[in-house]
A and B are shown apart, each in its own frame.
Chain A
Amino acid sequence: MKTLHYKLVLLTCIGFIISPFNAFAGPPIIELEIKDHLFYPSIIEIPANKKIKLLIKNLDPTPEEFESYELNREKVIAGNRKAVIFIGPLAPGEYPFFGEFYPKTAQGKIVAIE
C-alpha cells in the first residue's frame, strides 16, 4: 500500500514537471512537399515574429537540398523522406528558398505577414 502511495506521488510529480511542456504544443507546423524537383506550395504565408516548424516531405526518389540565404537555412532531404526545419521568428517580408540540387526548377518563397 505504501509503495503504491509513493508511486502515485512520483507520478504526480512527473506530471507536474512535464505539464508545462505539454501545454506548449510547439510552434505551428507548415507542410511543404517536393515533387519532380518542384516545391508545393511554392509560396507559403506565415505569421511574422513567430517561430515556425517546416515539415518538408521529399516525394522524389532523389535527394534535394533545401537552401535559403535569406533564412540562413540549408538541409539535405533524402529521397522519399521527410525533414524538419525550424525558421523564424521572422520580420515581415519575403524570404526566397530553393532546392540547391535543382535550383532552376525547385524555387519558392516564404512570406512573413504581420
Chain B
Amino acid sequence: MSLSSDDNRNKKMFLNSIALISQEVLEASILISILMALTKQLELSSRWAISALLIGSLGAYIYGLNIGNISEWFDYVGQEIVNACIQIAIVMLMFIATFLYSRSIFNTKKYGQTLFIVNATAIVALAIVREGAEIYNYLAGALTHAEYLVSVTTGSIIGTGIGVSIGILFYYALGAITGKRRHIIGLILFSLIAGSMTSQALLLLNQADWIPSTPILWDTSSLLSEYSLTGRLLYGLIGYEATPSILEFFGYLTTVMIMLFIGIKKTPKIKCLDEKINT
C-alpha cells in the first residue's frame, strides 16, 4: 500500500515538474526566439544568446540562493519589489529594442546594431534571472527528497524540452512568414509579452501593498481556467489572467499601445524586408 502511494506521489511530482518548469522556461524561450529572429533579419550573429543564457543563469543562481534574505527587504515584500523592478526594466528594454530595430537610421549602423545586441542580451538575461531563480528554488527543495530524485529530474528535463521546443517553433514560424507580415506578427507578439510583464509588475506591487487594489474587470475562469494546461501556457506566453484587475488591464493595454506605436511608425524602412530568415 505504501509503495502504491509512493508511486502516486512520484507521478504527481513528475507531472508537476513538467508543468512548472515548462511554464517558467517558456517566457524566456519565446523572448530569445523572437529576438534571435530579429537579429537574423538584421543580418547579425545570434551569438549574444549564449552570453545572455550564461549571465542570466548566473544571476538566477545568485538571486535564487539569496531569495530568503531578499524577501525580508521592505518589510517582507522584497521579492515582489525586486521582481516588479526586473519586469519593468525588461519592458523598458523591449521598448528600446523595438525602437532600434524599426529604424534604419540605427539598424544599418554599427553602433545601432551593437546597442541592439547589448539590449537583447540584457532582456533575455533579466528574464532568465527571474524565472531561473524560481526554478532554482523549486529544484533545491524538491531534490532534497531522495525519493523524488528521478521523477523531478525527468519531469524537469521534459518541461525544459517543452518550453524550448515552443521557442524553436516560434523562431521558425516567424522565419517562414515573409516580409512586412513577419515584422507585424513579431511586433504583436513582442507587445503582448511586454503587456503581460507590465500587468505582472502591477500585480506584484499590489501584492506588496505599494499600489492600491482595483476591482476585477472580468472573470473568464469558467471559459478558460488558469489550472488548465492551455491556461498555464497562455499565462506564460501572453500573461493570460482569468480575473484581471482594472489597473492590470490598463497597464497591459497601455504597454501594447506604446510598443505598437514605437514599432509601426517606421515599418516600411525596415532592412531586408522580403528576405526569409532561414534562407
Report B-chain residues with C-beta under 8 Å of the C-beta of A65: 134, 137-138
A55–B75 Cα distance when bound, in Å, is 11
A63 touching B243, Cβ below 8 Å: no
Number of interface residues of A (CB under 8 A): 32
C-alpha spacing A78/B70, complex, angstroms: 10
Choose among A80, A82, A88, A102 the residue with the greatest number of B CB atoms under 10 Å from its CB: A102
Residues of B within 8 A of A88 (CB): 213
A75 close to B207 (CB less than 8 A): yes
Task: Name the one of B140, B208, B243 contacting A72, with C-beta atoms under 8 angstroms.
Answer: B243
| Nearest residue, chain B, Cβ from A87 | B207
Contact of B209 with A63 in the complex, beta carbons under 8 Å: no
Q: Is B27 an interface residue (CB 8 A)?
A: no
Q: How distant is B256 from chain A, measured CB to nearest CB, in Å? A: 20
Q: Does A69 contact B242, Cβ atoms closer than 8 Å? A: yes
Which residues does chain A contribute within 8 Å of B22, judged by CB atoms?
A: none
Residues of B within 8 A of A84 (CB): 75-77
Complexed CA–CA distance, A86 and B12 (Å): 30
Question: Does B31 lie at the interface of the complex (its beta carbon under 8 Å from any beta carbon of A)?
Answer: no
Scan A57-90; emit 1 where CB is below 8 A from any B CB, else 0. 0000111110001101101111111111110110
Whether B77 contacts A64 by the Cβ 8 Å rule is: no
B268 at the A interface (CB under 8 A): no
Asked if A75 and B80 make an inter-chain contact with CB atoms under 8 angstroms apart, the answer reads: yes
B162 at interface, CB cutoff 8 A? no
Residues of A close to B209: CB separation below 8 A: 27, 51, 53, 86
| Minimal beta-carbon separation of A6 from chain B (angstroms) | 32
The winner among B79, B133, B142, B206 for most chain A CB atoms within 10 A is B79
Chain B residues contacting A82 (CB-CB under 8 Å) are 76
Instruction: State in angstroms the CA–CA spacing of A81 and B213 once bound together.
Output: 26
Task: For residue A105, give the distance in angstroms from its CB to the closest CB of chain B.
Answer: 8
Interface string of A76-114 (1 = CB under 8 A from B): 111111111110110000000000111110000000000
8 Å CB contact of B79 from A76, A89, A100: A76
Residue numbers in B under 8 Å from A63 (CB-CB): 67, 137-138, 140-141
> Once the chains bind, are B12 and A104 in contact (CB under 8 Å)?
yes
Whether A51 pairs with B71 at a CB distance below 8 angstroms is no
CB-based closest 9 A-B pairs? A78-B68, A62-B141, A84-B76, A69-B226, A86-B209, A63-B137, A104-B12, A81-B68, A63-B141
Pairs A–B under 8 Å by Cβ, sample size 12 = A63-B140, A64-B141, A65-B134, A65-B138, A72-B203, A75-B71, A76-B71, A77-B71, A78-B68, A83-B71, A86-B209, A89-B213
Given contacts A72-B241, A100-B20, A101-B138, 10 further A-B pairs with CB under 8 A are: A51-B209, A62-B141, A63-B67, A64-B141, A69-B225, A69-B227, A83-B76, A84-B75, A84-B77, A101-B142
Using CB atoms and an 8 Å cutoff, list the residues of chain A in contact with chain B: 27, 51, 53, 55, 61-65, 69-70, 72-73, 75-86, 88-89, 100-104
Binding site for A on B (CB under 8 A): 9, 12, 16, 20, 67-68, 71-72, 75-77, 79-80, 133-134, 137-138, 140-142, 144, 203, 206-209, 213, 221, 225-227, 241-245
